[in-house]
Structure 1
Amino acid sequence: MSLTILELKLLITAIVVVAYVVSRMVMIQLLRKIKRKFNYAQGRYKSQKKIFLMILAIVMVVALLLIWGVDKSQLFVFISSVLTIFGIAFIAKWSILSNITASFILFFNHPIKIGDRICVLDKDFDLDGTITDIGIFYLYIRLENKEIISIPTNIFLDKMIKTFEN
């Protein structure tokens, strides 16, 4: 029994779709565990979940395009263009993408979390308050006088932070 090329492509497509569904469920469970472990806010979890699921969907679409015969050189040009944009996001301070990148760094590798009392040390004046939210673009701090200050996430990573015991 020999499979035709069309049947083989359909079989591989089904395998990729099943792998996507399983990977999506695993990714959501992993993010939920991280949320519980570090006591992250629901908004922060949702934004990170959207980004990770979007990346997973892009990987699936690229795999399907390769299966169904899209020219690899055209796909390579497209992928390298996207990677160049992300490379600029890691470097450029003015880029909106740099805020998204900084949000990932804050989510996974920075010791602060929502509810922590911190002091952002600055040469002009210090900001002393409690972190109320960490979004994709901004980190929000409630000051002692109840004002809420938003700091772009990429700028926050450049600042020295003093934390206080809760």
Structure 2
Amino acid sequence: MNDIVLNYREELVYSLIVLVILIFIQFILKKAANKVGKKSEINITRTRLMFKYINILVVLIAAFLMALAWGVGIAELALIFSSVFAVIGVALFAIWSILSNITSGIILFFSFPYKIGDTIKIHDKDLPVEAVIEDIKAFHLHLRTREGELITYPNNLILQKAVSLIEHSDFDEGKDAL
């Protein structure tokens, strides 16, 4: 055991430093997402979704840095990552709309002016919608019409269409009064 520690001392120290720094960065990013969520009065489930994205980002960065620390050369890493991204790129090209909706979900987290409970009107010439926002998910919004119909509206389309606020929910205003 001592031989392993002595032989790989630099790699172990570098790995420990990288892990500590990445845990700190992850903490800062989660704190920032939580602050944005609270400031914008975003539902906690949407904030937790951002936490998952942050975790994925930190794990990918950690894998890259650990590979460098343990002696995998830049050329080998470039080959591995380019091969992996080529396969992922081909696979994701077939499901590009999913990526579009995930990206739109991230954008909606930070800049969507409407909240759960608000009544909105989507100005779409093919399917005009007036409904209450029931939930905002990673891929789509759940909208409930006055007739009780549940509409699942993709996040990428909500960013492409004009949206009007018909009625603001009183749910958040009621919390302040308590």
1:125–1:83 CA distance, 2 compared to 1 (3 A): same
Q: Which residue of 1 aligns with 2:58?
A: 56
CA–CA distance in 1 between the matches of 2:142 and 2:155?
Answer: 9
Q: Which residue of 1 aligns with 2:172?
A: none
Q: Which residue of 2 aligns with 1:150?
A: 152
Q: Which residue of 1 aligns with 2:71?
A: 69
SS of alignment partner, residue 95 of structure 1: helix
Q: Which residue of 2 aligns with 1:15?
A: 17
1:22 positional shift: 1.4
Instruction: Give the fraction of aligned pairs with identical amino acids, expressed as a percent.
Output: 32
1:81–1:51 CA distance, 2 compared to 1 (3 A): farther
| Matched letter for residue 33 of structure 2 | L
Q: Which residue of 2 aligns with 1:6?
A: 8
Q: Which residue of 2 aligns with 1:160?
A: 162
SS of alignment partner, residue 8 of structure 2: helix
| Matched letter for residue 100 of structure 2 | S
Q: Which residue of 1 aligns with 2:37?
A: 35
1:52–1:82 CA distance, 2 compared to 1 (3 A): farther
1:138 positional shift: 1.0
SS of alignment partner, residue 142 of structure 1: strand
1:87–1:114 CA distance, 2 compared to 1 (3 A): farther
Q: Which residue of 1 aligns with 2:47?
A: 45
SS of alignment partner, residue 147 of structure 2: coil
Contact 2:120 2:167 in 1 (8 A): no
CA–CA distance in 1 between the matches of 2:13 and 2:114?
Answer: 46
Contact 1:86 1:97 in 2 (8 A): no
Q: Which residue of 2 aligns with 1:137?
A: 139
SS of alignment partner, residue 152 of structure 2: strand
Q: Deviations over 1:117-160 (max 9, x none)?
A: 21011113311112121111111112122322111112222212
1:118–1:77 CA distance, 2 compared to 1 (3 A): farther
**Please, which runs of 5 or more residues in structure 1 have no aligned partner?**
none
- Larger gyration radius, structure 1 or structure 2: 2
| Matched letter for residue 153 of structure 2 | I
Q: Deviations over 1:60-117 (max 9, x none)?
A: 11111111111312322344466678989xx988431111111111111332332322
CA–CA distance in 2 between the matches of 1:109 and 1:37?
Answer: 12
RMSD: 2.8
Contact 1:117 1:165 in 2 (8 A): yes
Contact 1:38 1:113 in 2 (8 A): no
TM superposition score normalised by structure 2: 0.78
